[in-house]
């Protein structure tokens, strides 16, 4: 790729950055969508209230790919203001946990919808090689500077925490089962990417609403040389791990209910 020199990056934000940060309407696809996964776990949730505690269209799309299509979208309203002094692992885990607990609590005792059968929350951060958490770009100047930094360093990391909650039928505290995990993926940009390519990508506005300033599932793939770890973790939700968490939390909730109903096994002696 060429390394065309550009004049100093602009200092003023472009007029349509806020508009670019809004979720784009889905585009109709001429291709026939694949059939959903025929799994007992997914089928058991089809007629139940499953909440995604996120407004991310990418997370919704990823979950729909495995058959969770009738999701109720209830974004958390909590301020995401945990101190950046926390490790990336703790930062995303605490943020995702707060989202899940907040949305779960606010969704209980609905007179029309009933209690949720499952709540899924997630949080993703991009962390520079120097250990700094990268937010969404604030302006075009910030955006191009962010991408240059990612190109000029060896690699960066993407951490996603996933938290899932399911209710216990018993009255046992705290009334729900909770499972969580944090997944890490290492991403390396191509060192030969020219400033002209970075500027052209910034002008597409695809990365305007994304932490780190790029979308690996879209045009931003041209920036990425290689990854180590889960691809969909970089998109915003590691599907295989999430599916495992859903299975685990439902088994935990069911096991607690059965134990409450029949009592724990007594020792033989």
Average pLDDT per 10 consecutive residues for the chain, totaling 269 residues: 52 58 59 75 92 94 91 91 88 96 92 91 95 92 97 97 90 86 98 97 95 95 97 95 95 65 47
The per-residue pLDDT for 259 is: 46
Q: How far apart, in whole angstroms, are the C-alpha atoms of residue 22 and residue 38?
A: 33
Contact 194, 107 (CB under 8 A): no
The per-residue pLDDT for 23 is: 58
Contact 231, 250 (CB under 8 A): no
State whether CATH 3.90.1150.10 applies to domain 37-258. Answer: no
The per-residue pLDDT for 252 is: 87
The per-residue pLDDT for 1 is: 52
For residue 98 the two structure tokens come to 């707060």
The per-residue pLDDT for 229 is: 97
Q: How far apart, in whole angstroms, are the C-alpha atoms of residue 242 and residue 160?
A: 11
The per-residue pLDDT for 181 is: 97
The per-residue pLDDT for 78 is: 86
The per-residue pLDDT for 9 is: 55
The pTM for the full model equals 0.81
Closest CA to 35 of 61, 63, 66: 66
Active site residues: 123
For residue 194 the two structure tokens come to 């020219």
């Amino acid at each position: 790729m060429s390394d065309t020199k550009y004049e100093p990056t602009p200092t003023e934000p472009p007029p349509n950055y806020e508009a670019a940060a809004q979720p784009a309407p889905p585009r109709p696809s001429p291709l026939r969508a694949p059939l959903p996964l025929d799994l007992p776990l997914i089928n058991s949730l089809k007629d139940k209230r499953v909440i995604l505690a996120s407004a991310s269209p990418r997370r919704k799309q990823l979950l729909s790919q495995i058959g969770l299509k009738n999701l109720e979208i209830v974004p958390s309203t909590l301020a995401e203001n945990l101190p950046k002094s926390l490790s990336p692992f703790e930062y995303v885990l605490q943020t995702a946990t707060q989202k899940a607990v907040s949305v779960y609590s606010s969704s209980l005792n609905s007179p029309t919808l009933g209690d949720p059968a499952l709540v899924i929350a997630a949080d993703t951060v991009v962390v520079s090689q120097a250990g700094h958490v990268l937010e969404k770009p604030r302006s075009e100047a910030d955006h191009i500077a962010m991408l240059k930094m990612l190109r000029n360093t060896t690699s960066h990391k993407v951490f996603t925490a996933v938290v899932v909650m399911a209710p216990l039928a018993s009255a046992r505290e705290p009334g729900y089962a909770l499972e969580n995990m944090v997944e890490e993926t290492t991403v390396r940009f191509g060192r030969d990417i020219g400033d002209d390519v970075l500027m052209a990508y910034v002008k597409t506005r695809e990365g305007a609403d994304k932490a780190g300033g790029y979308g690996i599932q879209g045009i931003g793939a041209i920036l990425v040389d290689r990854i180590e770890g889960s691809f969909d973790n970089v998109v915003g939700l590691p599907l295989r791990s999430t599916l495992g968490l859903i299975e685990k939390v439902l088994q935990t909730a069911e096991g607690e209910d059965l134990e409450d109903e029949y009592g724990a096994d007594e020792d033989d002696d």
